[in-house]
Structure 1
Amino acid sequence: MCHYYIIIISLLLLLLLLSDVCIFTVIAFTGPLNCNKWDCNCTFTRQRGCCCAANDMYELENETFMRMKYLWHQIEELAGHVEHCTAAKKIAFKATINPDIAVMIPGTTDHCFGPFNSNVPIPYGIVALNHGNGYNPSLGIFTAPRGGVYVFSFTVYSSVSDGQRLYHKVQLMKDGDLVKDSATQRVILEMEAGCQVYLELVSGRKLCSSLELNIFTGYMLYPLYNSD
Protein backbone atom coordinates (compact mmCIF):
# COMPACT_ATOMS: atom_id res chain seq x y z
CA MET A 1 0.00 0.00 0.00
CA CYS A 2 2.94 2.37 0.51
CA HIS A 3 3.46 3.00 -3.19
CA TYR A 4 -0.12 4.27 -3.53
CA TYR A 5 0.59 6.92 -0.91
CA ILE A 6 3.77 7.82 -2.78
CA ILE A 7 1.75 8.29 -6.00
CA ILE A 8 -0.84 10.50 -4.29
CA ILE A 9 1.81 12.65 -2.58
CA SER A 10 3.73 12.98 -5.86
CA LEU A 11 0.62 14.16 -7.71
CA LEU A 12 -0.22 16.67 -4.98
CA LEU A 13 3.30 18.09 -5.13
CA LEU A 14 3.03 18.29 -8.92
CA LEU A 15 -0.28 20.17 -8.74
CA LEU A 16 1.15 22.60 -6.20
CA LEU A 17 4.16 23.18 -8.44
CA LEU A 18 1.99 23.84 -11.50
CA SER A 19 -0.23 26.16 -9.47
CA ASP A 20 2.80 28.18 -8.36
CA VAL A 21 4.09 28.38 -11.94
CA CYS A 22 0.75 29.74 -13.19
CA ILE A 23 0.56 32.32 -10.40
CA PHE A 24 4.11 33.54 -10.97
CA THR A 25 3.48 33.72 -14.74
CA VAL A 26 0.41 35.93 -14.26
CA ILE A 27 2.20 38.18 -11.77
CA ALA A 28 5.24 38.54 -14.01
CA PHE A 29 3.21 39.42 -17.13
CA THR A 30 3.40 43.19 -17.81
CA GLY A 31 2.48 43.56 -21.49
CA PRO A 32 -0.97 44.56 -22.83
CA LEU A 33 -3.56 42.00 -23.95
CA ASN A 34 -4.57 42.89 -27.51
CA CYS A 35 -8.05 41.45 -27.79
CA ASN A 36 -9.06 43.45 -30.89
CA LYS A 37 -12.86 44.01 -31.00
CA TRP A 38 -13.64 41.33 -28.45
CA ASP A 39 -13.45 41.81 -24.72
CA CYS A 40 -11.66 39.01 -22.91
CA ASN A 41 -14.78 38.30 -20.85
CA CYS A 42 -16.51 37.10 -24.01
CA THR A 43 -14.30 34.04 -23.96
CA PHE A 44 -16.55 32.50 -21.32
CA THR A 45 -19.88 33.67 -22.84
CA ARG A 46 -19.65 33.75 -26.65
CA GLN A 47 -16.88 32.35 -28.80
CA ARG A 48 -14.12 29.97 -27.67
CA GLY A 49 -10.75 31.57 -28.32
CA CYS A 50 -12.09 35.03 -29.16
CA CYS A 51 -9.53 36.60 -26.84
CA CYS A 52 -5.94 36.48 -28.05
CA ALA A 53 -4.79 35.17 -24.66
CA ALA A 54 -7.41 32.41 -24.54
CA ASN A 55 -5.71 30.20 -27.13
CA ASP A 56 -2.44 30.34 -25.20
CA MET A 57 -4.28 29.38 -22.02
CA TYR A 58 -6.01 26.46 -23.74
CA GLU A 59 -2.69 25.28 -25.17
CA LEU A 60 -1.08 25.55 -21.74
CA GLU A 61 -3.99 23.64 -20.21
CA ASN A 62 -3.70 20.87 -22.80
CA GLU A 63 0.08 20.67 -22.45
CA THR A 64 -0.21 20.54 -18.66
CA PHE A 65 -2.80 17.75 -18.88
CA MET A 66 -0.58 15.71 -21.23
CA ARG A 67 2.41 16.14 -18.93
CA MET A 68 0.37 15.06 -15.92
CA LYS A 69 -0.88 12.02 -17.85
CA TYR A 70 2.69 11.09 -18.78
CA LEU A 71 3.90 11.56 -15.21
CA TRP A 72 1.00 9.46 -13.91
CA HIS A 73 2.02 6.65 -16.28
CA GLN A 74 5.64 6.91 -15.16
CA ILE A 75 4.67 6.86 -11.47
CA GLU A 76 2.46 3.79 -11.99
CA GLU A 77 5.30 2.03 -13.81
CA LEU A 78 7.71 2.91 -11.01
CA ALA A 79 5.22 1.68 -8.41
CA GLY A 80 4.98 -1.62 -10.31
CA HIS A 81 8.75 -2.05 -10.22
CA VAL A 82 8.82 -1.26 -6.49
CA GLU A 83 6.03 -3.76 -5.84
CA HIS A 84 7.86 -6.43 -7.85
CA CYS A 85 11.12 -5.90 -5.96
CA THR A 86 9.58 -5.80 -2.49
CA ALA A 87 7.16 -8.66 -3.05
CA ALA A 88 9.99 -10.90 -4.23
CA LYS A 89 11.75 -10.44 -0.90
CA LYS A 90 8.83 -11.89 1.07
CA ILE A 91 9.95 -15.51 0.99
CA ALA A 92 9.78 -17.54 4.19
CA PHE A 93 8.25 -20.78 5.45
CA LYS A 94 7.84 -22.83 8.59
CA ALA A 95 6.46 -26.36 8.73
CA THR A 96 6.22 -29.26 11.18
CA ILE A 97 5.51 -32.97 10.80
CA ASN A 98 1.90 -34.08 11.12
CA PRO A 99 1.83 -36.75 13.88
CA ASP A 100 -0.91 -38.58 11.97
CA ILE A 101 1.64 -39.95 9.49
CA ALA A 102 3.17 -42.12 12.24
CA VAL A 103 2.35 -45.84 12.25
CA MET A 104 2.82 -48.42 14.99
CA ILE A 105 5.96 -50.51 14.70
CA PRO A 106 5.03 -54.24 14.91
CA GLY A 107 5.97 -55.78 18.23
CA THR A 108 6.32 -52.38 19.94
CA THR A 109 4.17 -49.54 21.21
CA ASP A 110 6.11 -46.95 19.23
CA HIS A 111 4.39 -44.82 16.59
CA CYS A 112 7.01 -43.82 14.03
CA PHE A 113 7.65 -42.40 10.61
CA GLY A 114 9.83 -45.02 8.94
CA PRO A 115 11.91 -47.07 8.60
CA PHE A 116 12.10 -47.36 4.78
CA ASN A 117 14.30 -49.27 2.36
CA SER A 118 15.65 -46.06 0.81
CA ASN A 119 16.09 -42.43 1.72
CA VAL A 120 12.69 -40.70 1.85
CA PRO A 121 11.90 -36.95 1.86
CA ILE A 122 10.21 -35.96 5.10
CA PRO A 123 6.76 -34.43 4.48
CA TYR A 124 6.42 -31.55 6.91
CA GLY A 125 2.68 -31.29 6.35
CA ILE A 126 1.60 -28.71 8.93
CA VAL A 127 2.46 -25.30 7.48
CA ALA A 128 2.48 -22.29 9.80
CA LEU A 129 4.02 -19.88 7.28
CA ASN A 130 4.55 -19.99 3.51
CA HIS A 131 5.24 -16.51 2.11
CA GLY A 132 6.07 -16.75 -1.58
CA ASN A 133 4.49 -20.23 -1.83
CA GLY A 134 7.88 -21.84 -2.27
CA TYR A 135 7.23 -24.72 0.13
CA ASN A 136 5.24 -27.79 -0.97
CA PRO A 137 3.80 -29.50 2.14
CA SER A 138 2.78 -32.64 0.22
CA LEU A 139 6.37 -33.37 -0.78
CA GLY A 140 8.21 -31.51 1.97
CA ILE A 141 10.26 -29.69 -0.68
CA PHE A 142 11.10 -25.99 -0.86
CA THR A 143 11.66 -24.59 -4.36
CA ALA A 144 13.36 -21.19 -4.52
CA PRO A 145 10.99 -18.72 -6.25
CA ARG A 146 13.98 -16.56 -7.16
CA GLY A 147 17.73 -16.49 -6.86
CA GLY A 148 19.18 -15.37 -3.57
CA VAL A 149 20.95 -16.30 -0.37
CA TYR A 150 18.70 -18.41 1.87
CA VAL A 151 18.83 -19.50 5.50
CA PHE A 152 17.46 -22.94 6.41
CA SER A 153 17.15 -24.59 9.79
CA PHE A 154 15.70 -27.86 11.00
CA THR A 155 15.13 -29.43 14.37
CA VAL A 156 14.80 -33.21 14.55
CA TYR A 157 13.20 -34.89 17.53
CA SER A 158 12.78 -38.61 18.13
CA SER A 159 12.87 -41.13 20.92
CA VAL A 160 15.97 -43.28 20.45
CA SER A 161 17.24 -46.59 21.72
CA ASP A 162 20.42 -47.00 23.72
CA GLY A 163 23.51 -46.46 21.60
CA GLN A 164 21.64 -44.68 18.78
CA ARG A 165 22.62 -41.24 17.52
CA LEU A 166 19.91 -38.96 16.17
CA TYR A 167 22.12 -37.13 13.68
CA HIS A 168 22.56 -40.36 11.66
CA LYS A 169 18.85 -40.34 10.76
CA VAL A 170 18.28 -37.07 8.91
CA GLN A 171 20.31 -35.13 6.36
CA LEU A 172 19.67 -31.86 4.52
CA MET A 173 19.67 -32.18 0.73
CA LYS A 174 20.11 -29.51 -1.98
CA ASP A 175 19.24 -30.64 -5.51
CA GLY A 176 19.91 -34.24 -4.49
CA ASP A 177 23.27 -33.58 -2.83
CA LEU A 178 24.01 -33.95 0.88
CA VAL A 179 24.65 -30.64 2.65
CA LYS A 180 24.54 -31.34 6.39
CA ASP A 181 23.38 -33.99 8.81
CA SER A 182 22.60 -33.19 12.43
CA ALA A 183 19.83 -33.21 15.01
CA THR A 184 19.67 -29.42 14.94
CA GLN A 185 21.29 -27.42 12.19
CA ARG A 186 21.20 -24.05 10.43
CA VAL A 187 22.76 -23.50 7.03
CA ILE A 188 23.13 -20.60 4.59
CA LEU A 189 22.90 -21.49 0.90
CA GLU A 190 23.21 -19.49 -2.30
CA MET A 191 20.43 -20.68 -4.60
CA GLU A 192 19.22 -19.95 -8.09
CA ALA A 193 15.53 -19.80 -9.00
CA GLY A 194 14.19 -23.37 -9.13
CA CYS A 195 16.75 -24.91 -6.76
CA GLN A 196 15.17 -27.30 -4.28
CA VAL A 197 15.88 -28.03 -0.63
CA TYR A 198 14.36 -30.78 1.46
CA LEU A 199 15.05 -33.04 4.43
CA GLU A 200 15.18 -36.78 3.98
CA LEU A 201 15.03 -39.70 6.38
CA VAL A 202 17.99 -42.02 5.89
CA SER A 203 17.08 -45.58 4.88
CA GLY A 204 16.56 -47.97 7.78
CA ARG A 205 16.00 -45.11 10.24
CA LYS A 206 12.84 -43.83 11.88
CA LEU A 207 11.46 -40.88 13.81
CA CYS A 208 9.30 -41.80 16.77
CA SER A 209 7.16 -39.98 19.33
CA SER A 210 6.09 -36.32 19.28
CA LEU A 211 6.66 -35.87 15.56
CA GLU A 212 5.17 -32.37 15.76
CA LEU A 213 8.40 -31.25 17.44
CA ASN A 214 10.25 -31.78 14.15
CA ILE A 215 10.51 -28.35 12.49
CA PHE A 216 11.74 -27.22 9.08
CA THR A 217 12.09 -23.48 8.37
CA GLY A 218 13.70 -21.22 5.80
CA TYR A 219 13.72 -17.69 4.47
CA MET A 220 15.53 -15.55 1.89
CA LEU A 221 18.25 -13.43 3.46
CA TYR A 222 18.68 -11.22 0.38
CA PRO A 223 18.03 -11.59 -3.38
CA LEU A 224 20.55 -12.00 -6.18
CA TYR A 225 19.14 -9.87 -8.99
CA ASN A 226 21.54 -11.13 -11.67
CA SER A 227 20.59 -14.77 -11.15
CA ASP A 228 16.96 -14.64 -12.32
Structure 2
Amino acid sequence: MIGFEDVKSSPTYFYVQIFNLSFDQPNVPIPFDTARLKVGGSMNLQTGIFTVPRKGKYFFSASGIGFILASSARFWVDIHIMRNGNRIGSSSPDDTANFRQWEQFSLQSTLNLQPGDQIWWEIGYMNAGFKISHNGFNHFTGFLLEEEITHSLK
Protein backbone atom coordinates (compact mmCIF):
# COMPACT_ATOMS: atom_id res chain seq x y z
CA MET A 1 0.00 0.00 0.00
CA ILE A 2 1.20 3.50 -0.84
CA GLY A 3 0.36 6.45 1.41
CA PHE A 4 -1.78 6.51 4.52
CA GLU A 5 -5.20 4.98 4.97
CA ASP A 6 -8.05 6.86 6.62
CA VAL A 7 -6.05 9.98 7.52
CA LYS A 8 -8.16 13.14 7.30
CA SER A 9 -6.80 16.62 6.92
CA SER A 10 -8.52 19.73 8.15
CA PRO A 11 -9.51 21.70 5.01
CA THR A 12 -7.84 25.04 4.34
CA TYR A 13 -8.80 27.21 1.35
CA PHE A 14 -9.94 30.71 0.49
CA TYR A 15 -11.06 32.96 -2.36
CA VAL A 16 -11.15 36.71 -1.64
CA GLN A 17 -11.75 39.80 -3.77
CA ILE A 18 -11.62 43.59 -3.71
CA PHE A 19 -15.07 45.09 -4.35
CA ASN A 20 -15.43 48.33 -2.41
CA LEU A 21 -12.05 50.03 -2.47
CA SER A 22 -9.22 50.84 -4.82
CA PHE A 23 -5.72 50.42 -3.42
CA ASP A 24 -2.53 52.34 -4.19
CA GLN A 25 -0.05 51.84 -1.31
CA PRO A 26 3.26 50.15 -2.15
CA ASN A 27 5.15 47.67 0.04
CA VAL A 28 2.28 46.72 2.35
CA PRO A 29 -0.14 43.76 2.14
CA ILE A 30 -3.18 44.46 -0.02
CA PRO A 31 -6.38 44.17 2.05
CA PHE A 32 -9.56 42.54 0.76
CA ASP A 33 -13.19 43.25 1.55
CA THR A 34 -15.09 40.26 0.17
CA ALA A 35 -14.66 36.56 0.99
CA ARG A 36 -16.34 34.28 -1.55
CA LEU A 37 -14.97 31.25 0.26
CA LYS A 38 -12.98 31.09 3.49
CA VAL A 39 -12.50 27.73 5.20
CA GLY A 40 -9.95 27.03 7.90
CA GLY A 41 -9.82 30.53 9.38
CA SER A 42 -6.33 31.36 8.08
CA MET A 43 -7.09 34.24 5.69
CA ASN A 44 -7.50 37.68 7.27
CA LEU A 45 -9.46 40.02 4.98
CA GLN A 46 -8.51 43.24 6.77
CA THR A 47 -4.75 42.59 6.72
CA GLY A 48 -4.73 40.65 3.43
CA ILE A 49 -2.47 38.03 5.04
CA PHE A 50 -2.87 34.24 4.91
CA THR A 51 -1.20 32.53 7.90
CA VAL A 52 -0.29 28.88 7.32
CA PRO A 53 -2.01 26.58 9.86
CA ARG A 54 -0.29 23.27 9.00
CA LYS A 55 2.91 22.09 7.34
CA GLY A 56 2.43 21.11 3.72
CA LYS A 57 2.22 22.09 0.08
CA TYR A 58 0.00 25.07 -0.77
CA PHE A 59 -1.10 26.66 -4.03
CA PHE A 60 -1.76 30.40 -4.42
CA SER A 61 -3.03 32.51 -7.29
CA ALA A 62 -3.38 36.29 -7.54
CA SER A 63 -4.84 38.00 -10.58
CA GLY A 64 -6.55 41.20 -11.47
CA ILE A 65 -6.35 44.62 -13.01
CA GLY A 66 -5.21 48.03 -12.01
CA PHE A 67 -5.44 51.30 -13.83
CA ILE A 68 -3.18 54.22 -14.54
CA LEU A 69 -4.17 57.79 -15.17
CA ALA A 70 -3.33 59.60 -18.41
CA SER A 71 0.39 59.76 -19.11
CA SER A 72 2.62 60.25 -22.09
CA ALA A 73 5.55 58.50 -20.43
CA ARG A 74 6.24 54.79 -20.03
CA PHE A 75 4.48 53.41 -16.99
CA TRP A 76 5.00 50.21 -14.98
CA VAL A 77 4.12 48.58 -11.70
CA ASP A 78 5.41 45.50 -9.87
CA ILE A 79 2.92 43.18 -8.15
CA HIS A 80 4.51 40.62 -5.78
CA ILE A 81 3.47 37.47 -3.94
CA MET A 82 5.26 37.64 -0.59
CA ARG A 83 6.28 34.96 1.94
CA ASN A 84 7.27 36.22 5.39
CA GLY A 85 8.32 39.57 3.92
CA ASN A 86 10.32 38.09 1.02
CA ARG A 87 9.23 38.31 -2.60
CA ILE A 88 8.65 34.88 -4.16
CA GLY A 89 7.00 35.90 -7.43
CA SER A 90 6.27 39.02 -9.46
CA SER A 91 4.23 40.35 -12.34
CA SER A 92 5.22 43.63 -13.94
CA PRO A 93 2.79 45.12 -16.46
CA ASP A 94 3.99 48.23 -18.25
CA ASP A 95 2.60 50.49 -20.94
CA THR A 96 2.09 54.08 -22.01
CA ALA A 97 -1.32 55.38 -21.07
CA ASN A 98 -3.35 57.65 -23.29
CA PHE A 99 -6.36 57.77 -20.99
CA ARG A 100 -7.05 55.58 -17.96
CA GLN A 101 -5.19 52.53 -19.21
CA TRP A 102 -6.11 49.16 -17.62
CA GLU A 103 -3.24 46.79 -16.82
CA GLN A 104 -3.60 43.06 -16.08
CA PHE A 105 -1.47 40.89 -13.81
CA SER A 106 -1.41 37.25 -12.80
CA LEU A 107 0.82 35.25 -10.43
CA GLN A 108 0.73 31.64 -9.28
CA SER A 109 2.90 29.72 -6.86
CA THR A 110 3.09 26.28 -5.24
CA LEU A 111 5.10 26.25 -2.01
CA ASN A 112 6.21 23.99 0.83
CA LEU A 113 5.20 25.95 3.93
CA GLN A 114 5.55 25.71 7.69
CA PRO A 115 2.95 26.62 10.34
CA GLY A 116 3.06 30.36 10.95
CA ASP A 117 4.41 31.28 7.49
CA GLN A 118 2.57 34.28 6.06
CA ILE A 119 1.59 34.83 2.42
CA TRP A 120 0.21 38.01 0.85
CA TRP A 121 0.45 40.09 -2.28
CA GLU A 122 1.51 43.68 -2.53
CA ILE A 123 2.40 46.47 -4.91
CA GLY A 124 6.18 46.84 -5.14
CA TYR A 125 7.46 49.66 -7.32
CA MET A 126 4.86 51.78 -9.09
CA ASN A 127 4.67 55.01 -11.01
CA ALA A 128 2.43 57.69 -9.54
CA GLY A 129 -1.19 57.33 -10.60
CA PHE A 130 -1.54 53.53 -10.35
CA LYS A 131 -4.39 51.92 -8.40
CA ILE A 132 -5.53 48.33 -7.89
CA SER A 133 -9.10 48.35 -9.18
CA HIS A 134 -12.24 47.49 -7.23
CA ASN A 135 -15.62 46.04 -8.38
CA GLY A 136 -14.46 42.42 -8.09
CA PHE A 137 -11.69 42.53 -10.71
CA ASN A 138 -8.96 41.38 -8.29
CA HIS A 139 -8.75 37.86 -6.89
CA PHE A 140 -6.57 36.02 -4.36
CA THR A 141 -7.00 32.27 -3.96
CA GLY A 142 -5.11 29.71 -1.91
CA PHE A 143 -5.51 26.15 -0.72
CA LEU A 144 -3.72 23.30 0.99
CA LEU A 145 -2.76 20.73 -1.66
CA GLU A 146 -1.09 18.18 0.58
CA GLU A 147 -0.60 18.21 4.32
CA GLU A 148 2.64 16.76 5.65
CA ILE A 149 1.34 14.39 8.31
CA THR A 150 4.29 12.05 8.85
CA HIS A 151 5.39 13.89 12.01
CA SER A 152 1.96 13.35 13.58
CA LEU A 153 1.98 9.60 12.85
CA LYS A 154 5.19 8.87 14.77
Which residue, 117, 122, 126 being the options, matches 2:34? 126
Please name the residue that 1:33 is paired with. Answer: none
- 1:47-196 aligned at under 5 Å gives the runs 85-88=7-10, 90-99=11-20, 101-102=21-22, 113-114=23-24, 116=25, 118-160=26-68, 163-165=74-76, 168-182=77-91, 183-196=105-118
Q: Hey, what's the Cα distance between the residues in 2 that align with 1:173 and 1:227? A: 27
CA contact (8 A) 2:30 2:120 kept: yes
Question: Could you say if the C-alpha distance between residues 208 and 121 of structure 1 is closer, same or farther in structure 2, counting changes exceeding 3 Å?
Answer: closer
Q: Which has the higher strand share?
A: 2
- CA gap of 1:200–1:208, structure 2 versus 1, over 3 A, is closer
1:218 aligns with 2:142: yes
For 2:150 and 2:51, locate their aligned partners in 1 and report how far apart those are by CA, in whole Å: 18
Structure 1 runs of 4+ with >3 Å offset? 203-206, 208-211
Q: Percent identity between the aligned chains?
A: 26
The number of equivalent residue pairs is: 129
RCO (CA 8 Å, sep 6+): is it higher in 1 or 2?
A: 2
Task: Give the number of the structure whose alpha-carbon radius of gyration is greater.
Answer: 1
Q: Which runs of 5+ in 1 are unaligned?
A: 1-81, 103-112
The answer to whether the 8 A contact 1:98-1:126 is kept is yes
CA shift, 1:215, in A, is 0.4
> RMSD of the TM alignment (CA)?
2.1
Amino acid at match of 1:213: F
Is the 1:147–1:227 contact (alpha carbons within 8 Å) kept by the matching residues of 2?
no
Q: Kindly provide the CA deviation profile for residues 12-49 of structure 1, in whole angstroms up to 9, marking residues without a partner as x.
A: xxxxxxxxxxxxxxxxxxxxxxxxxxxxxxxxxxxxxx
